[in-house]
Chain A
Amino acid sequence: MEDGQGILLEVDDLNVSFAIQGGRVEAVRGVSFTVRKGSVLALVGESGSGKSVIAQSILRILPRNGSIDSGRILFHDVSAPDGTVDIATLTERDPYLYQMRGGRISMVFQEPMTALSPLYTIGNQVEEALRLHHRQDAQLARAETVEILRLVGFPDPQKGYERFPFELSGGLRQRAVIAMALICNPALVIADEPTTALDVTVQAQILGLMKELQKKFHTSILLITHDLGVVANMADEVVVAYHGKVMEAGPVETIFRHPEHPYLKALMAAVPHFEMKPGERLVSLREMGNENAGDLAQIASRFQARRPLTDGKPHLEVKNLTKEFVVRKGSFFKAGESSRVLAVDDVSFAIRPGECLGLVGESGCGKTTISKMIMRALTASSGEVWMNSASGMIDVLKLHGPQLLDFRRKVQMIFQDPFSSLNPRMTVHNILEEPFIIHGIGNKQERKRDIIDLMTMVGLDPRFLNRYPHSFSGGQRQRIGIARALALHPELLICDEPVSALDVSVQAQILNLLNDLRSELGLTSLFISHNLAVVNYVAERIAVMCRGQLVEMAPREVLFANPVHPYTKALLASVPYPDLDRLLDFENIQFSGADDVSHWGKAFLPSEGSRLAGIEVEKGHFILANNNADMRELV
């Protein structure tokens, strides 16, 4: 054993298992690694790799059915009796455990929405850790809490102290959680997917903040993540876990420049990145068994989308679409003054037949609202949507009755969450048959044949038809969702974040499947995502949205090579690359967020006597700018 100099935490041959009905599941199998003082160790893996279980073991907060079977977790810290303590052997009620939790080892969680109790103020919850570990009088504790809130970037920490979690944005909530983790000045912070639930620009800010504070306090961080881009930007050392075992470990340089293990190599190949050549395919980690290209082409011929006449008109045209929500402000007891919020503000775009348009933006920018209006699930405040269908031009927003029902066949949707978008009480067969029944298509045999073809098309075994959704993995469920969307031979497919709930390797499979199906079936599609790399992989043209407005639209290569709008630039600058030579520039990331207009140039803001309009800076490249602006100011 080493003498412990410079080493903070040693995990040695750790085995953790969970009791489930009819046996035990081994979640962690013989994992060993060390965390050095003042350094960042990244623990990388997909869901089910046991990475979160390792974190829970270190803090001894495993769920009740989990237990540490063997192994040591040595914590070398001044607080420990004799300087070293084996956390794995502490009893459940050991006083040191409570002293250590939050005091010497603290945790930052994935979901800032649910990691804080909605019933207490931010100040109360952050301060609690401080008062538990350093007995202090209320006033001092409050002053210290306000100070740490200021440090993590609360714009008005005095006020922030009094706020409730639900009154804050996701980014600010995560800052509060970080403040909670740091307030006792711990030796080790375990960050479990700290930025996964956040928008990309907010992610960059939070990563920058963590790095800055880590340097300042000389804290060690155990960073748990599935995102290799985050790892490249944050870690000093990397441990790659798969199915509860360590596949590869080493300094970040070695891991990224000379990956050894096939799993690590495959993981890196599965991530879409911006340097992909047109037509380059992602290599998915595990190919589906029965993907047969010949079959697909043959079956697909029956499911081909009916294309409109090629008369040069766009397949779908959205003109000046606007949606206004009325928000009741104020509190329960006060009569609230209501304000109007423009969720979608005068958005116009067109999609050509067979084209895939990517719609990118951060949460709350209105991208899903647009898709719902096209689907006629929400009523637009004003504007028009025209569809050049095989059966003629359709004024989508004016449809009603039987025409609307008929229109629903033409537009289908693939949803974000494959877990809640399938009814758990229906078999796959029922799920796929339902669209046929609703629209009264075919008899039993015809439907059966179609359903089997649909299953083959999305790469699922037709023998699975009598199973229920819960017996499938996330990726398989998303395939079922895709099959359901294709059942009615739609002309337009709207994909709303179809891969954001999936693991990297599964994401690659689904993206490849969508690309194949799109080209085989000739589908026109609208692909909504917050992930620029994913959109880059599937879309031909990309539209960027910010605060309900479409700020930039360009062909894919143009947008990535030559972004013009400050928002697009900020968005692109915030994407962490899994590449050590292209690290994020933390110094220049705007603290207030990319949609803070005060950083935008004059040309992109409305001024008196002029308004914002779509301006074509080069062929097919539009940006939203002041219509009096000089061309030179823009480019």
Chain B
Amino acid sequence: MLAYIFKRILYMVPTLVLISILVFTLIELPPGDYFETYVNALLESGEKIDQQQLEFLRQEYGFDLPPYQRYFKWAGGLLQGDLGYSFEYQLPVSEVIGDRLLLTMIVTFFTILFTWIIAFPIGIYSATHQYSWGDYGLTFLGLLGLATPNFLLALVLLYLAKEWFGTTIGGLYDPEFIGQPMSWAKFVSVLEHLWIPVIVIGTSGTAGMIRRVRANLLDELRKPYVTTARAKGVPEFRALMKYPFRMSLNFFIADIGGILPQVISGAELVAIVLSLQTTGPLLVTALQSQDMYLAGSFLMLLAFLTVIGVLISDIALAILDPRIRLAGGVSR
């Protein structure tokens, strides 16, 4: 097991190197750099620029160097855990992201939990009551959730929350907590605001999830080993959980690889509509203003989490399914 994990981690190195080159190239592709964008913005608003300071910064961050040297400088920094410096925020990237990372994780964690709590029971019900009114009704509701544009739902829920509960519009906590360190009161405020983004982001995912749980479970329900279990006298619900349901979990575990990066990036557009202080909007503005260290390091973080997620789901699959764990292979 350890040897396998070690081997897989070794494979990750070339993957990450390739991704870093790709990310760097993509960010470099648009003409100019952050400073040009910055200068233009200042000129437009009629402000003066300290050319000397600008040149100093350019040199300091190596913008006068050829691209490949800058790449190595950046990548070398990443290796030492230095994510670089955000020009826009005038702060190290780790500090810019770190603040929002926690909130993003909270939002996403609850979103995933919401999706599972809703989707699994409904999916199981739909599969075991295939073509019944309940199946059709729940499927209809799920599709409705999938079809409603997220931003629309977000606006509606914001309005209702304000009307009914007096929750402040936008953000993940009351304005009074902005810039304050995490405290119990702030956490409670976060929970108060949390349910809107969770429902908004969750509904679209839930519908897809219900369909997948249903389809996978239906496939398994027809398998003869389910009949074997029934013929053995296993009570229906226990038989359902022990045999077909566990079998249908495979697809779901394989999904973990995709979930981890999601946890960090959040749903960008919804976050902007709801003006959430998560990382999603951060990435969007960073890309717009060519704040290259912020954008690049953030994308690398996502790539890293994706690779780790895939590794975790592979290991989990092997633990869950003895066929993957024990069966050998044949080469032709």
Q: Give residues in A with beta carbon < 8 Å to B.
A: 59, 61, 98-103, 106-107, 109, 111, 114-120, 125, 128-129, 132-133, 164, 166-167, 177, 180, 325-336, 338, 378
Contacts and interface: CB of A to CB of B under 8 A. Distances in A.
B332 to A, nearest CB: 7
Contacts of B225: 114-117
Contacts of A133: 233
Contacts of B331: 325-328, 338
Given A61-B231, A98-B235, A164-B322, 6 more contacts: A115-B228, A164-B326, A330-B328, A332-B325, A333-B1, A336-B329
B233 A100 contact: yes
Nearest to B246: A119
B233 A132 contact: yes
B110 interface: no
Contacts of B152: none
Contact of B332 (A118, A167, A338, A378): A378
A166 B332 CA distance: 21
B35 to A, nearest CB: 51
A128 B232 contact: yes
Contacts of B318: 332-333
B224 A61 contact: no
Interface of B: 1, 3-4, 223-225, 227-235, 242-243, 246-247, 318, 320-332
Q: Which of B1, B4, B232, B318 has the most CB of A within 10 A?
A: B232
Contacts of A326: 330-331
Given A331-B326, A332-B4, A106 B231 contact: yes
21 contacts: A59-B230, A61-B230, A100-B233, A101-B230, A101-B232, A102-B234, A103-B233, A109-B227, A115-B225, A115-B228, A116-B228, A117-B228, A118-B322, A118-B323, A119-B320, A120-B242, A328-B330, A328-B331, A332-B318, A332-B325, A332-B327
B3 A333 contact: yes
B263 to A, nearest CB: 27
Contacts of B233: 98-103, 129, 132-133
Nearest to B322: A164
A117 B322 CA distance: 11
Nearest to A64: B130
Given A59-B231, A333-B4, A109 B224 contact: yes
Contact of B323 (A103, A128, A166): A166
Q: Which of A128, A133, A330 has the most CB of B within 10 A?
A: A128
Nearest to B329: A328
A366 B39 CA distance: 76
Contact of B232 (A118, A129, A166, A329): A129
A378 B331 CA distance: 12
B323 A180 contact: no
A111 B4 contact: no
Contact of B224 (A111, A329, A335): A111
Contacts of A167: 326
Contact of B3 (A102, A109, A115, A334): A334
Given A106-B232, A107-B231, A115-B224, A335 B330 contact: no
A166 B327 contact: yes
Contact of A128 (B234, B321, B326): B234
B125 to A, nearest CB: 14
Nearest to A325: B330
Contacts of B4: 332-335
